[in-house]
């Protein structure tokens, strides 16, 4: 039996060590010799303290005597990281379990020693990553007690490092919301999973000072120190909320300015147009030579352009509004309706390549954007004949509606300018507002208008990345 036990110890993948009450090493297995860098003969007969850092040797003798005075099977360190010493002098992070064999003077203490250096380095790297994260991290147990926080969390909430550990999670919640939180927490623990808190609602957290601030919180179940727990990732969105409010106010101001300007400008423009009509009617036909007639026509044309510009400004101001009406449609139906109202000039052909599918969306803004792109492709082509191709493809959560042409294209230095208000890509008619309106309108519905880097037909290829699934309206 003794031989069998020795064979088992020799085959063990962890270090096994036996010492007598005086601390002299009586047995080592190959795994322990490899771990500490010694030959078996160099360890047998030595005091066990040879395997400990010098700073721990004196205290270990007292602990060893205490163990033999009251022997029992147990782990060493009580949750602390223990270190051994390699033959070359460097420390080794270890876990140690203790037991005994024999009785009386023949009693030996048996230590089972596992190298946890890799585990410890991984934990240290993970701790360094957590500490460096700019987002607040919080770990709670199944009763809502706080186990762990990172520096970003402490700074966000105004606490010292570790100050909230042991406290209930409710200290981070405004008093008006605390009563209902335990029920929500228990509900989550019964069916834990990865999810965001407060879907569709604004969440508020409470700073140590008592002030509240808006946050976003993502939850995930974890096991922490052998107990079920919850990891919360907390982001302070105060700055974002302020920017959103500023953007909403800017849009309101833009609309107010546009409507006021249009009202104040339309009346005098209409008065100028009327005056031109009256003057033209009152003038003696004898003085209405070709130059006078031409000047009257130019004046009327400029008044008409100014009125159209005012109308374009109103369209641009309204383009940021989200269309609340949705319906089920298909790319085929959209393109068919588009071509019904947009006729290609003589010499131009329009090809269509779309998949068979259906989706729920706000149809009007998408159709308006496509009409602007198609009209631009025909108007700014630059030739007397040409080809335009409309394609639709699926790309992730988007349907990509592309309008491509074989025209002159867009110069490299104008690829961003063309999206600016009143920028005109060519001398063709228009005020340069179509692409600005389209981009603004598409963005307000969760999509994006882009000028693709390459055009299959060699001209310009504009694409609307439109969400396949209708999103909830933002809190504008």
pLDDT band of 408, cuts 50, 70, 90: confident
Determine the Cα angle at 236 with ends 137 and 194, to 5°. 50
Share of the chain above pLDDT 70, in %: 86
Return the bridge partners of 360, or none.
Answer: 328
Cβ atoms within 10 Å of 293's Cβ, excluding its own: 11
CA 155 to chain centre: 22
Q: 2-121 and 327-467: same fold? A: no
Judge whether 299 and 326 are in contact, CB under 8 Å: no
The pLDDT score that the predictor gives to residue 16 is 93
What are the sequence ranges of the domains in the chain? Answer: 2-121, 133-236, 249-318, 327-467
Specify the higher pLDDT residue, 104 or 454.
454
**Residue corresponding to tokens 């270190």:** 83
Q: Tell me the CATH class for 327-467.
A: alpha beta
Average pLDDT of the chain to the nearest whole number? 83
Please, what CATH class does the domain formed by 2-121 belong to?
Answer: alpha beta
For residue range 89-98, what is the model confidence (pLDDT) as tens digits?
999 999 999 9
Question: CATH: 3.30.450.20, 3.30.9.100, 1.10.240.10, 3.40.50.450. Which one for 133-236?
Answer: 3.30.450.20
Q: Is the Cβ–Cβ distance between 15 and 25 less than 8 Å?
A: no
User: Is 372 a residue whose pLDDT tops 50?
Assistant: yes
SS (H, E, C) the chain: CHHHHHHHHHHCCCEEEEECCCCEEEEECHHHHHHHCCCHHHHCCCEHHHHCCHHHHHHHHHHHHHHHHCCCCEECCCCCCEEEECCCCCEEEEEEEEEEECCHHHCEEEEEEEECHHHHHHHHHHHHHHHHCCCEEEEEECCCEEEEECHHHHHHHCCCCCCCCCCEHHHHCCHHHHCCHHHHHHHHHHCCCCEECCCCCCEEEECCCCCEEEEEEEEEEEEECCEEEEEEEEEECHHHHHHHHHHHHHHHHHHHHHHHHHHHHHHHHHHHHHHHHHHHHHCCHHHCCHHHHHHHHHHHHHHHHHHHHHHHHHHHHHCCCCCCCCEEECHHHHHHHHHHHCCCCCCEEEEEECCCCCEEECHHHHHHHHHHHHHHHHHCCCCCCEEEEEEEEEECCEEEEEEEECCCCCCHHHCCHHHCCCCCCCCCCCCCCHHHHHHHHHHHCCCEEEECCCCCCCCCEEEEEEECCCCCCCCC
Which pLDDT score is estimated for 438?
83
Q: What is the pLDDT of residues 384-396, one digit of tens each?
A: 889 999 999 998 8
Is the pTM higher than 0.85? The answer reads no
The pLDDT, as a whole number, for residue 121 is 85
Confidence tier at 353 by pLDDT (50, 70, 90) = very high
**What confidence tier does 434 reach under pLDDT thresholds 50, 70, 90?**
low
């Amino acid at each position: 039996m003794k031989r069998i036990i020795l064979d088992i110890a020799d085959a063990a993948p962890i270090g096994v060590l036996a010492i007598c009450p005086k601390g002299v090493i009586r047995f080592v297995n190959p795994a322990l010799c490899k771990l500490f860098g010694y030959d078996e003969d160099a360890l047998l007969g030595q005091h066990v303290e040879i395997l400990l850092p010098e700073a721990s040797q004196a205290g270990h003798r007292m602990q060893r005597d205490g163990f033999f005075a009251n022997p029992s099977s147990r782990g060493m360190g009580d949750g602390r990281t223990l270190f051994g010493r390699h033959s070359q002098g460097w420390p080794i992070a270890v876990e140690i379990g203790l037991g005994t064999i024999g009785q009386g003077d023949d009693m030996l203490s048996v230590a089972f020693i596992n190298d946890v250096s890799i585990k410890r380095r991984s934990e240290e790297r993970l701790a360094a990553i957590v500490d460096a994260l700019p987002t607040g991290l919080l770990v709670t147990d199944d009763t809502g007690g706080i186990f762990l926080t990172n520096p970003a969390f402490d700074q966000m909430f105004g606490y010292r490092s570790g100050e909230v550990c042991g406290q209930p999670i409710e200290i981070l919640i405004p008093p008006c919301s605390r009563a209902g939180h335990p029920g929500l927490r228990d509900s989550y623990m019964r069916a834990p999973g990865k999810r965001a808190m407060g879907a569709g609602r604004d969440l508020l957290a409470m700073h140590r000072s008592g002030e509240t601030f808006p946050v976003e919180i993502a939850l995930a179940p974890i096991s922490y120190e052998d107990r079920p727990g919850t990891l919360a990732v907390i982001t302070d969105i105060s700055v974002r909320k302020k920017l959103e409010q500023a953007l909403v106010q800017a849009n309101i101001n833009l609309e107010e300015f546009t409507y006021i300007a249009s009202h104040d400008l339309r009346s005098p423009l209409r008065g100028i147009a009327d005056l031109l009509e009256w003057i033209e009617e009152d003038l003696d036909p004898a003085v209405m030579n070709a130059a006078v007639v031409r000047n009257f026509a130019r004046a009327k044309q400029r008044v008409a352009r100014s009125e159209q510009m005012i109308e374009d400004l109103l369209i641009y101001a309204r383009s940021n509004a989200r269309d609340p009406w949705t319906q089920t449609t298909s790319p085929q139906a959209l393109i068919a309706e588009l071509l019904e109202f947009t006729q290609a000039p003589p010499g131009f052909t329009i090809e269509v390549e779309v998949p068979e599918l259906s989706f729920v969306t706000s149809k009007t803004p998408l159709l308006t954007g496509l009409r602007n792109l198609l009209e631009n492709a025909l108007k700014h082509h630059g030739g007397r004949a040409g080809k335009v191709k409309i394609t639709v493809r699926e790309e992730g959560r988007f349907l990509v509606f592309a309008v491509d042409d074989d025209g002159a294209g867009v110069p490299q230095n104008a690829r961003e300018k063309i999206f600016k208000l009143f920028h005109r890509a060519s001398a063709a008619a228009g005020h340069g507002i179509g692409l600005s309106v389209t981009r603004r309108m598409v963005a307000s519905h969760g999509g994006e208008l882009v000028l693709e880097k390459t055009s299959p037909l060699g001209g310009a290829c504009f694409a609307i990345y439109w969400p396949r699934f209708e999103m909830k309206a933002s809190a504008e």
